[in-house]
Amino acid sequence: MGDLVLTTYDWVPKSPRGYVRDIRVRWALEEAGLPYRVEKTPFRARGAEHFAHQPFGQVPWLTDGDISIFESGAILLHLGERSDALIPSDPRGRSTVVEWLFAALNSVEAASLPWSIFVFSGDTTETPGRKHLDGFLETRLKHMDAVLAEREWLAGCFSIADILMADVLRLVGRFDGLAAHPACRDYVARATARPSFVKAHADQMAHFAAAD
């Protein structure tokens, strides 16, 4: 185990600030109280070194000594192996966290990301595909609302699964997509009230503001 270094863009436009995915990693690091430093990679000119760490030219990536990891889910799982504050150590608890970690990305964000692309594009044309897509997100949120109405956190105690799920739902809420889903709204509110999120968010905002 080596020093933890989180790399994110040097700058982004105003609109994604507070939502760049490095916030998921900052949040987990703050929650666990693990020491780390932040490095920058150019947003505008993404070179070979960037792609060597992140093959899609995205951020973040994390280095832990000589291991470099991309994908927020993979990074959070790696950090979970370094801290009991992020993932329970018993097999059943761990298994519950891992399935919800994937569900946040593959069952909820898989539906919310394309929806947010249309919303962000100001695209309101009702086509058959768009109807299908909107229905896809509504169904997933309905099921999440049923789950979250019955539990405070996804795996018994707060974990990396909540960091991912709350961050995914937070973006839906930003575009008013949680209006019919009160349990999802309450969950996002209690997750983002944690001091670890508040600090991670402030740090990301300050990081990008420093480049203006």
Could you tell me the sign of the dihedral formed by the alpha carbons of 119, 25, 193, 163, in that order? positive
Phi then psi for residue 13, to 5 deg, are -60, 165
Q: Which x/- pattern, by CB under 8 A, does the window 139-168 give for a copy of itself? A: xx--xx-xx---------------------
> What single DSSP character describes residue 20?
S
Question: Is 12 within 8 Å of 20 (Cβ atoms)?
Answer: yes
Task: Give me the amino acid identity at 210.
Answer: A
Q: Does 113 bind a copy of itself (CB under 8 A)?
A: yes
Distance in Å, CB of 119 to a copy of itself, minimum: 8
Cβ of residue 145: shortest distance to a copy of itself, in angstroms?
Answer: 11
Binding of residue 43 to a copy of itself (CB under 8 A): no
Among 32, 103, 160, 184, binds a copy of itself (CB under 8 A): 103
Interface with a copy of itself by CB under 8 A: which range of 12-20, 111-119, 180-188, 202-210? 111-119
Rg (CA), the chain: 17
Q: How many residues does the chain have?
A: 212
* Nearest alpha carbon to residue 210 among 2, 8, 55: 8
- The answer to whether residues 184 and 145 touch, using CB atoms and an 8 Å cutoff, is yes
Instruction: Please identify which residue in 89, 122, 179, 212 interacts with a copy of itself, judged by CB under 8 A.
Output: 122
Binding site for a copy of itself (CB under 8 A): 51, 55-58, 67, 69-74, 77-78, 91-92, 95, 98-99, 101-103, 105-107, 109-110, 113-114, 117-118, 121-123, 125, 127-130, 132-133, 136, 139-140, 143-144, 146-147
